[in-house]
Structure 1
Amino acid sequence: MTSVVTSGAAYADFDFAHAATGIYRGMPADIYHARAPGVVSKTVLDILERSAAHYKAWLDGHERPATDALELGVITHARVFEPDLFASTYVQAPDHGDQRFKENKQKKAEWKAANEGKKPVSEEHWIASEGMARSIRRHPKVAPLLSRGEAEVTARWEDLDTGIICKARADWLVPNLGIILDLKTTEDAREDAFARSCAKYRYHVQNAHYDHGFSMAGIEIEDFVFVAVEKQPPYACAVYTLDDEAVFKGREAVDRNLRSLRDCIEVDEWPAYGNGIKKLSLPRWA
């Protein structure tokens, strides 16, 4: 196992394709999220599940539109797991008033100058992220883990079946306990509702991908823990792990997606939904 503890600057020329299998600490987010041919994260697995054509478009630089929910999730993640980074990166955007008035324009310009380099956050997102972070920190199962782990730890490995390079980035890792915490903001954190979210957003695939990857990189994961927190007051928080059947299905999906990518790379063909005419049936609820 390779274990790297280093500064962000040391990753300037980092290349997942040629790096050693192992655990990487201190890797900047933009280095981890950089797109590279044949390097697979959970995001890539989800795109491949849509189609190889969608993956090729993503790889070629076509952006998926950022969503309000994604922005809130990123902000909340920073508040919970990287409070120092949050404080240095984000600032609450005040209401500068009607910009048709000169004095309001001046106030806005002064505020922007005073907060240069920081990302403005709407009052709505500021309050919501603060409430969610507080709820998470108060959870009796989560709070003790937040005092003994580390944020944003990356695993890099090679899939033995396909030879494809894979990566994963833990929100929060407690290495000596083999625990990963993964934050999910949600509309409804009740058991049935979150189980549906797991199926819809393929959280079971993430669980399987991370379990296997961190093991390959040298850290056995005993518990992959989802910290589900609601985005509206009272910002209710619930903590879940998936059963063995769900993780097994996730592993099957990972293997299927990786084999699909390998096959596309070999022939340099990137199909979407097929070229034939398909007969459809209505869904059961119709």
Structure 2
Amino acid sequence: MQPGYYRDLSNDDYHGGEGVSKSQLDLLHKSPALLPWSRNAPEDDEKKSALNVGDAVHAILLEPHRFDADYAVGPKDAPRNTKAGKEAWAEFESTLSGRTVLTHEEHRKIQLIRESVLAHPHARWLIEADGDAEASIYWNEQHTGQLARCRPDKNINAHGWLMDLKTTADMSRFSKSVYEYRYHVQDAMYSDGYAAHYGEPPAGFVFLVVSTSIDCGRYPVRLFTLDAEAKQIGRSEYQADMATYHECRERDEWPGIETLSLPAWARKS
């Protein structure tokens, strides 16, 4: 892959191709050996075909064509413990062609989440604004020269905004999720990719967060940006991870032993 902006790169080609991504840096941050492990370890096909609510919500909001191609809604009022139900499901399953099955209740929930997002005026603008969903950016990271890549959920080109859609089971814990899942590192890395391609940093990076759990009868929707301190910490971590990645590649050595400490309560005498 050459540095550039790719609108039509498939998800499989992106994840299976060259360049280091943020999710790979997350693995390397824990232990460098996890990066080559992730490329070679077998995947459980049954687990891959199980419903991923986050992906279904992402698809129905940002890639409705993919939602229709990847998901199928099962028969309604067709219990599998009845002859008629078994026949209905057998006929339905014969047409799946690899699509993930949604029950009517799961489909209803995903539709409600979609409508909840569109009920929020600023979230609706982010979803409906002209832009590229799932475009890929490749660039040579400025300090190491290593090929890096990112795939923003949406690039609202005309306004210089990057948007990332997140689902959460508990909206009140999202601030902790930022740290746990290193979303501050994602902010820094994606912003660098944007700047490398466009010649200037994005005007903004916003997280559109939707809850998959009901609160007062609704699925909450919030919009967040990170403050300057969080962005700086994310940038420092991102650059340190890139330096580690560069060193591992240069030496072709991927350390794998992690050091554990006892928890604070266990160290008390």
> What is residue 47 of structure 1 aligned with on the other side?
27
8 Å CA contact 1:80, 1:137 repeated in 2 = no
> What is residue 160 of structure 2 aligned with on the other side?
178
1:34 maps to a residue whose letter is G
- Deviations, residues 143-180 of structure 1 (Å, cap 9, x unaligned): 12322222111111011211211111111111011111
> What is residue 22 of structure 1 aligned with on the other side?
4
Distance 1:134 1:27, change over 3 A: same
Deviation at 1:54, TM superposition (A): 1.1
1:98 maps to a residue whose letter is R
> What is residue 126 of structure 2 aligned with on the other side?
145
Unaligned runs of 5+ in 2: none
Is residue 154 of structure 1 aligned with residue 136 of structure 2? yes
Matches within 5 A, 1:1-286: 16=1, 19=2, 21-36=3-18, 39-63=19-43, 71-94=52-75, 96-98=78-80, 103-147=84-128, 148-190=130-172, 193-218=173-198, 220-233=201-214, 234-273=218-257, 280=262, 282=264
Unaligned runs of 5+ in 1: 1-15
Separation in 1, partners of 2:50, 2:100: 16
8 Å CA contact 1:208, 1:250 repeated in 2 = yes
Separation in 1, partners of 2:85, 2:115: 33
8 Å CA contact 1:42, 1:209 repeated in 2 = yes
> What is residue 5 of structure 1 aligned with on the other side?
none
Q: TM-score, normalised by structure 2?
A: 0.86
Which moved further from structure 2: 50-59 or 199-208? 50-59
Separation in 2, partners of 1:67, 1:231: 20
8 Å CA contact 1:90, 1:120 repeated in 2 = yes
Deviation at 1:67, TM superposition (A): 8.2
2:160 maps to a residue whose letter is G
Distance 1:166 1:278, change over 3 A: closer
Number of matched pairs: 261
- Deviations, residues 230-275 of structure 1 (Å, cap 9, x unaligned): 102211000000011111111111111111111112222211235x
Identical-residue share of aligned pairs (%): 31
Deviation at 1:220, TM superposition (A): 3.5
- Deviations, residues 18-45 of structure 1 (Å, cap 9, x unaligned): x2x2211021111111154xx2111101
8 Å CA contact 1:35, 1:59 repeated in 2 = no
Distance 1:169 1:278, change over 3 A: closer
2:86 maps to a residue whose letter is K
